[in-house]
């Protein structure tokens, strides 16, 4: 276990504040879950009606789609939470991007889909997994540390299937399909980079504070709460729909 993990696990937890924040976050997730990765009615109509290669439009749609996908962004925040060097951040973000790019494009191109509730529940689980990883829970509980790069790639592949499943719901025209998928993916990556820049800006300011280690524990617990809340939503949706 790393010194940071030990500090996190030993740090006093502000349980009343954590419970309050967790309740607020859960409520936000439950009331806004329908917006995650949602394509607006106007955008959906455009996707269904347009034909031919439309790179600018699909880049815009991809970027817009990513910045509303807080499950992906929560996982990404967890991935970079304890990465300080630019080289490490670039490596892990690239691994994640390669993973979800491959399965997003391949999933739509070959019509490979997974039930939307199931894949979104798996994506929510990735948030829980990363929060536990950040807390050093796997080494503490099982005496082993999973390969973080392999886990990032695997979850990246699964996140890509989530994107592919959503895209297939809107039946993009086969005319110009591959080019539009690539453009959409470029937009996703641009949206991800914009979100990542904001996350890193906030993280840099936060890490400079003396209370970061104690607050980081609470933040990762909250991340885990958010993941479980999203999982519960998707599992409930699967059985109710």
Query: pLDDT (tens digit, 9 = 90+) per residue, 69-105?
Result: 888 999 999 999 999 999 999 999 999 999 999 999 9
Structure tokens at 212: 């970061």
Q: How far apart are CA 8 and CA 222, in angstroms?
A: 14
State the pTM of this model: 0.84
Residue 6: predicted pLDDT: 52
Terminal C-alpha separation, the chain: 43
Distances (CA, A) of 72 to 65, 101, 158: 11, 13, 11
Alpha carbon distance 113, 119 (integer Å): 9
Is pLDDT above 80 for 225?
yes
Three-class secondary structure assignment of 49-98: HCCCCCHHHHHHHHHHHHHCCHHHHHHHHHHHCCCCCHHHHHHHHHHHHH
Residue 5: count other Cβ atoms within 10 Å of its Cβ. Answer: 19
Residue 74 has what pLDDT?
Answer: 92
Residue 104 CA, chain-centre distance (Å), reads 14
Side-chain-side CA neighbours of residue 94 (13 Å) = 6
Place of tokens 């479980």: 228
Q: What is the pLDDT of residues 15-62, one digit of tens each?
A: 444 444 454 454 444 444 444 555 566 676 777 788 899 999 999 999
């Amino acid at each position: 276990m790393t010194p940071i993990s030990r500090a996190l696990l030993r740090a006093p937890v502000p349980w009343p504040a954590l419970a309050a924040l967790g309740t607020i976050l859960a409520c936000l997730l439950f009331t806004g879950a329908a917006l995650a990765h949602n394509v607006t009615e106007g955008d959906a109509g455009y996707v269904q009606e347009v034909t031919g290669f439309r790179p600018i439009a699909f880049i815009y749609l991809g970027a817009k789609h990513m910045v509303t996908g807080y499950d992906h962004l929560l996982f990404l925040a967890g991935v970079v939470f304890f990465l300080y060097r630019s080289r490490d951040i670039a490596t892990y973000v690239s691994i994640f991007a390669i993973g979800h790019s491959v399965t997003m494009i391949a999933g739509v191109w070959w019509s490979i889909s997974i039930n939307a509730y199931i894949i979104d529940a798996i994506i929510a689980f990735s948030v829980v997994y990363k929060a536990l990883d950040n807390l050093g829970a796997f080494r503490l509980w099982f005496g082993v540390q999973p390969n973080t790069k392999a886990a990032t790639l695997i979850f990246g592949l699964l996140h890509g299937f989530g994107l592919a499943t959503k895209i297939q719901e809107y039946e993009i025209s086969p005319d110009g399909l591959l080019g539009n998928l690539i453009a959409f993916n470029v937009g996703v990556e641009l949206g991800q980079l914009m979100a990542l820049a904001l996350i890193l800006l906030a993280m840099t300011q936060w890490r400079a504070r003396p209370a970061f280690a104690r607050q980081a524990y609470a933040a990762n617990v909250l991340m885990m709460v958010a993941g479980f809340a999203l999982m519960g939503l998707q599992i409930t949706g699967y059985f109710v729909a």
